[in-house]
Amino acid sequence: MHPQLAQSEASNQQHRRFFQRRKNKRKNNALYWQKKKKEYARVAAENRHLKGIIEGMISQYLKAQGKNFQKHENYVSHLAGQNDHRSFYAQVQQGVGFHTAGNDDEFDVTDVLELDELDTPLSNELENPKNFQTIQKSTMSDFLKKIDDDVASSIDFPDFMVCFGGEHKKIGRYSFPSSLVSTVERITKVYGDVSAACLMNSSVTEKIYLFFCATIKEMEDLKLQQVTEEKLLKWRDAIKDALRINFKVDFAMHHLKRIARAYFGFIGSQELQSMDDKLDALKKERVETYQDFKDYIAYAKDFYGKSVSTGLFP
């Protein structure tokens, strides 16, 4: 073979090997990032699965440890005040009594947790189990309609994190435990005597008044991230019962609807924050990826829309 032809052939082979190496490297890089993406998706799925298991275990543990104890504590504390609150127990003798055993499924012990004491990244999700779940607009609308539903009330003493026992104070026709006195006085100062229009015997309506005031008390004590759908429906029942006996408490129903909308707004804010965090992570990953490939991107631009032989024959 002619020496020049041999030299040209050798040069061509060298160029082909060079471009083949670059092609292989690009292919390997693509495979690497594809594998990395799959690995990330797998780990993320495992984390979601483990998070669900952990939340379930925590929920079951809290219910098992706290439910029966809190029911018993509320009931005992209430019985302790019966000598100062005879008119209330007259209802039991007249057949207007109340059910003290309650329903285990209706009591949510997580409502009394000091959630601010949880100091882990998971705490925000434990405060509200529906955080980071996509809630459809139709679901929100359906729940807001439930606030207006006229259904049979199912509330009882164990549904409230309020002590109904101990020393009582007479305000108007009713006797209130010391835990609710400041709440009753605050309601009366702003809205007047909400029970004035009710003509029913106070011994019959007192329980309803207590539950209404306990509802307002809980609104004062709980933060938005501690509110649950179950709690909102319990408050609805208490307010609806008061309205049924002609208590002037429309203001409470109006405020309850505000809380319900804020509840879903909080979940939406958490969803948006989660999305923002993911976007920030992607932006950071993009910067790192660009740093890895920036020296080669210029070469790739030379071939966009062109044959890879471009530049081979100047």
For 131-188, how does the pLDDT look when each residue is reduced to its tens digit (9 = 90+)?
Answer: 444 566 678 888 989 999 889 998 999 999 999 999 999 999 999 999 999 999 999 9
Within a domain: residue 115? no
- Are residues 59 and 152 part of one domain? no
- Are residues 139 and 54 part of one domain? no
Cα–Cα distance between 113 and 164 in angstroms, integer? Answer: 19
Give the pTM. Answer: 0.53
For the residues 40-58, what does the mean pLDDT come to? 69
- Are residues 308 and 206 part of one domain? yes
- Are residues 137 and 204 part of one domain? yes
pLDDT digits (tens, 9 = 90+) for 240-290: 999 999 999 999 999 999 999 999 999 999 999 999 999 999 999 999 999
Within a domain: residue 122? no
Distant-in-sequence, close-in-space partners of 127: CB < 8 Å, separation ≥ 6: 115, 118, 225, 226
pLDDT digits (tens, 9 = 90+) for 185-210: 999 999 999 999 999 999 999 999 99
Range of the domain at 20: 1-80
- Are residues 266 and 180 part of one domain? yes
- Are residues 170 and 257 part of one domain? yes
Q: Give just the sign of the alpha carbon dihedral 263, 264, 266, 270.
A: positive
What was the pLDDT predicted at 130? Answer: 44
Contact 212, 249 (CB under 8 A): yes
> With bands split at pLDDT 50, 70 and 90, how would you rate the model's confidence at 44?
confident
Within a domain: residue 249? yes
Q: How many domains does the chain have?
A: 2
Cα dihedral: 161, 195, 92, 98 (round 10): -40
- Are residues 307 and 179 part of one domain? yes
- Are residues 12 and 139 part of one domain? no
Cα dihedral: 180, 154, 248, 185 (round 10): 0
What percentage of the chain exceeds 70 in pLDDT? 65
Within a domain: residue 88? no
Half-sphere exposure of 308 (CA within 13 A, CB side): 8
- Are residues 253 and 179 part of one domain? yes
What was the pLDDT predicted at 25? Answer: 74
- Are residues 145 and 73 part of one domain? no
Burial of 238 (0-12, 13-18, 19+ CB in 10 A): buried
Could you tell me the two tokens for 240?
Answer: 């609806």
pLDDT digits (tens, 9 = 90+) for 53-111: 666 666 655 555 454 444 444 444 444 444 444 333 334 334 333 333 334 333 333 33
- Are residues 154 and 30 part of one domain? no
What percentage of the chain exceeds 90 in pLDDT? 45
174 DSSP β-pair partners: 171
- Are residues 277 and 187 part of one domain? yes
Provide φ and ψ at 180, rounded to 5°: -110, -5
175 DSSP β-pair partners: 170
Residue 132 backbone zone (phi > 0: left; psi -120 to 50: alpha; other: beta): left
Within a domain: residue 92? no
What was the pLDDT predicted at 118? Answer: 34
